Each structure stands twice: as structure tokens, then as C-alpha cells.
Amino acid sequence: MSQNLAHASQLLAKWHRLTNYVAAASLYLIKILSLARTGNLTYRLVATRV
């Protein structure tokens, strides 16, 4: 029984990490999209290339 519990907690930890990654990625995408809408993204891309 304890083995099943340990396995379940491992799966839960993996799932939690995955959802954290997904949340961070979606926040990043939203930030990029909002920057692109204001036009700051192109300016930043040009500034980083120079």
C-alpha cells in the first residue's frame, strides 16, 4: 500500500511541475502578445540585435 502511495505522490509531483511549466509558458505568451500589440516587441528585437 505504501508503494502505491509513493508512486501516486511521485505522479502528483510530476503533474504539478508540468502544470507550473504550462502556466509559466502561457503567461510568457500573453506577455509577448501584449508587447507585440503595442509594438514594443519589434523595437526590443531590433535593440537586442544591435
Q: What is the pLDDT of residues 1-50, one digit of tens each?
A: 688 999 999 999 999 999 999 999 999 999 888 877 777 666 777 777 76
Rounded to whole angstroms, how far apart are CA atoms 11 and 41?
38
User: Which pTM does this prediction carry?
Assistant: 0.53
pLDDT at 11: 95
pLDDT at 33: 84
pLDDT at 41: 63
The residues, any chain, with a CB within 8 Å of residue 35's CB and separated by 6 or more, are 41, 44
Identity of the amino acid at 38: T
Rounded to whole angstroms, how far apart are CA atoms 31 and 50?
23
Question: From the CA atom positions of the chain, what is the Rg in Å?
Answer: 19
pLDDT at 38: 76
Q: Positive or negative CA dihedral for 33, 35, 38, 44?
A: negative
Domain limits of the chain? 23-50
